[in-house]
A = this chain, B = another copy of it.
Amino acid sequence: MEQPATTRQQLIQRLRAMGNKLRIDSVISTTEAGSGHPTSCLSAADLMAAVFFHAMRFDVANPHNGTNDRFVLSKGHAAPILYAAWAEAGAFPVERLKTLRQFGSDLEGHPTPRLPWVDVATGSLGQGLSNGAGMALNAKYLDHIDYRVYVLLGDGEAAEGSVWEAAEFASYYKLDNLVGIIDVNGLGQSQQTMYGHHTDVYRRRFEAFGWHALSIDGHDMDQIVDALDEAAGVKDKPTMIVASTIKGKGISFVADLNGWHGKALKKGEETDRALAEIRSNDLVTEGLKMLPPTGRTANEVIEGAAAAKIEVGEHYKTGESVATREAYGEALARLGARNPLVVVLDGDVKNSTFSEKFLKAFPDRFFECFIAEQNMVGTAAGLSAMGKIPFASTFACFLTRAFDQIRMGAISLSNLKLCGSHAGVSIGEDGPSQMALEDLAMMRAVETATVLYPSDAISTEYAVQLSAANHGIFYIRTSRPKTPVIYKRDDRFEIGKCKVIRTSKDDRITVVAAGVTLFEALKAYDELKGQGISIRVVDIFSVKPIDVKGLESAGRETGNLILTVEDHSLGGIGDAVAGAVSQAGIRVHELLVSELPRSGKPEELLKAYGIDSSAIISAVKSLVAAG
């Protein structure tokens, strides 16, 4: 579809004018804010004008219209020009750009989905291409609709390995609906980028990664329009447009100079001079607007899918030995049958995390992400932005690889479900590199994340069910060893609730645990009972939010004493419990892994690092004796 009554020449002229309008908007808003990255906007201005007002099809009044093309500003520090483009497209008044970076304004320093025209937060560089790949994957394999996804990257961020993970993933899945554009302005924050204006370096690399790639002059509107048109015709490959640009383009006294990164122009003479230079160009954009996605039909929205439930507790017998990781895969596969929005990703360990059970049941909704955890999580965030409920799994220790993507997922308000298997030293002989001892601390620190740590197959079913039914980031920690099923169908598990599983009025102390250490606590319970010492045993289940009330009342009823025991380092269950109940005057003692572990048998390691039943027994005895 062409712009109405516009010749090619007129179109080019108007797009050029729009580029300059976006430059003006970006300078005005950053000067008003007194901070921001105007020069990084200026290099991208012509590219932005062409993508928004020539290539994209978008229903501006309905940003969440499922047939819209998508745009991701991977170089998130150029946020002012993104806001300018949306304002010029009619999303909101241009005047509002002056609220940039103000407290309460949705025009934040870097884009966040608080602004409805933003799908994913950006600003930590190198993540946008993964987000875009997730959106493109959704169009091609799930919704079967022909929207396109545009991602604008900076050249500096092409140094991030996550970009190359996204690149290999997008070509592996033949995402020909994904178009990347690199704004090669040649200058990083503190010096020239690795390759300056050598656009061929990027072009050759993307070609080697299986992309259709072309180098252009990013300020030549003819070349930009041609490149975008060419991209639209490429089949079975994503396209990367490598555009040579000038940082600060349009303002003679900042253009292509180091020292201008992330610096607003001074109000008054400096800004006025800059604006006068840009305004000396043709600014007539008459008739230029975003074209709507006519003729496309999105899948119907599946109402209530998220509320779909699995039957919990029907598949396991009490006492049966089942690893929570296996119960995870099993629950996921059953959930898949009820909820068509659930999609599953894994990092080539699906036979260990047991997400392969979902693959077997629903191969069309499973995506192998290979050994590239950053892209897996970034892709999941992209799928989430398109309304899917992605569950991504790998060994819990390897989720540390994607911590920044998880953090950005929180800022993106993503509906992201993560499962980390092989928690702690109880994995045994594989040794410390495979032991997750930091994952609970990592996930607790993620604002908005919910952290669930099931101990048996039935509480794992609850964890999966709760994760799918509630929006936001959920983390499920599963374990390698088989553990007995201890819960029943009518044992309900809730977010923010722990479960008291051994209790009497004679209890001298509360022991809080989860996963393998819960079973050590139960062993300790039996042994101590034989010795006349009664302990309360609590399954924490919901590490975050934590059950302050439940833990407080357990602690109060057991002499204000709590002992925590966990297969984890600092910042996990112990600290969570201490942080929650110490204000009530309850004393919390922590057993945790506090040194670098080594290879060995699981039981040897639980003992060596002081988190087995014997460690619990001796801690309980000394604490109870001390009163």
Residues of A in contact with B (beta carbons under 8 Å apart): 33, 35-36, 76, 101-105, 108-110, 112, 114, 121-126, 156-157, 159-165, 168, 172, 188-191, 193-194, 201, 204-205, 207-209, 346, 348-352, 356, 368, 370-372, 374-375, 397-398, 400-401, 403-404, 407-408, 410-411, 413, 429-434, 437-438, 440-442, 444-448, 544, 560, 568-572, 574-576, 578-579, 581-590, 593-601, 604-605, 608
A438-B407 in contact (CB<8A): yes
Expressed in whole angstroms, the minimum distance between the Cβ of A156 and any Cβ of chain B is: 5
Q: Which residues of B contact A442 (CB under 8 A)?
A: 403, 438, 441-442, 445
Given A123-B430, A447-B594, 19 new contacts (CB under 8 A)? A35-B430, A104-B600, A105-B599, A109-B431, A110-B431, A123-B432, A124-B398, A124-B433, A188-B371, A191-B348, A193-B370, A194-B370, A205-B205, A411-B596, A413-B596, A445-B570, A575-B578, A578-B582, A578-B588
Cα–Cα distance between A239 and B364 once the two chains are bound (Å): 40
Whether A431 and B372, one on each chain, are in contact in the complex, defined by CB atoms closer than 8 angstroms, is no
Per the bound structure, the CA–CA distance linking A370 and B156 in Å amounts to 8
23 example contacts (A-B, Cβ-Cβ < 8 A) are as follows A76-B433, A101-B431, A102-B599, A102-B600, A104-B598, A104-B600, A109-B434, A110-B432, A114-B598, A121-B432, A124-B434, A159-B371, A160-B161, A161-B162, A194-B370, A400-B404, A403-B442, A413-B596, A440-B445, A445-B569, A446-B569, A570-B579, A579-B590
CB-based nearest B residue for A79 = B431
User: How far apart sit A444 and B445, CA to CA, in the bound complex (Å)?
Assistant: 11
Instruction: For A599, list chain B residues within 8 Å (CB).
Output: 101-103, 105, 108-109
A126 touches B587 (CB 8 A): no
A374→B161 contact, CB < 8 A: yes
Flag if B401 contacts A397 (CB, 8 Å).
Answer: no
Rounded to whole Å, the gap between the CB of A203 and the closest CB of chain B is 9
Does the CB pair A371–B103 fall under 8 Å?
A: no
* Contacts A370-B193, A403-B403 given; does A35 touch B570 at CB 8 Å: no
- Residue of B at shortest CB range from A410? B596
> Hey, which chain B residues are within 8 Å of A585, CB to CB?
560, 585, 587
User: Which residues from B are CB-within-8-Å of A445?
Assistant: 437-438, 440-442, 568-572
- A601 contact from B103, B112, B584, Cβ within 8 A: B103
Are A401 and B403 interface neighbours, CB within 8 A?
yes
Smallest CB-CB separation from A123: which chain B residue?
Answer: B433
CB-CB under 8 A from A160, the residues of chain B are 161, 165, 371-372, 401
By the criterion CB–CB under 8 Å, are A437 and B441 in contact?
A: no
Contact B348 A596 (CB under 8 A): no
What residues of chain B lie closer than 8 Å to A604, measured between beta carbons?
Answer: 103
**Residue among B157, B207, B544, B600 making CB contact with A208, cutoff 8 Å:** B207
Residues in chain B near residue A122, CB distance under 8 A = 433
Most B CB within 10 A of own CB, among A188, A372, A576, A584: A372
Whole-angstrom distance between the alpha carbons of A35 and B428 in the complex? 10
Hey, which chain B residues are within 8 Å of A108, CB to CB? 431-432, 598-599
Tell which of B156, B400, B608 touches A348, judged by Cβ atoms closer than 8 Å: B156
The answer to whether A588 and B582 touch across the interface, beta carbons within 8 angstroms, is yes
Closest B residue, CB atoms, query A210: B201
- Whether the pair A608, B447 counts as a contact (CB closer than 8 A) is no
Q: Are A570 and B576 in contact (CB under 8 A)?
A: yes
Contacts of A601 in B (CB 8 A): 103
On whether the beta carbons of A407 and B400 are closer than 8 Å, the reply is: yes
Cβ of A589: which chain B residues have Cβ within 8 Å of it? 583
Q: Report A25 CB to chain B, min CB distance, Å.
A: 18
Select from chain B the residue with minimum beta-carbon distance to A544: B570
Report whether A407 and B397 are in contact in the complex, using a CB–CB cutoff of 8 Å.
yes
Q: Which residue of B lies closest to A413 (CB)?
A: B596
Does A194 contact B208, Cβ atoms closer than 8 Å? no
CB nearest to A596 among chain B residues = B447
**A580's closest neighbor in chain B, by CB?**
B578
Alpha-carbon gap, A595 to B102, bound state (A): 18
The reply to whether B583 and A579 form a contact with Cβ atoms under 8 Å apart is: no
Chain B residues within 8 Å of A404, by CB: 397-398, 400-401, 403
Chain B hits for A189, CB < 8 A = 348-349, 351-352
Output the least CB separation between A58 and chain B (Å): 24
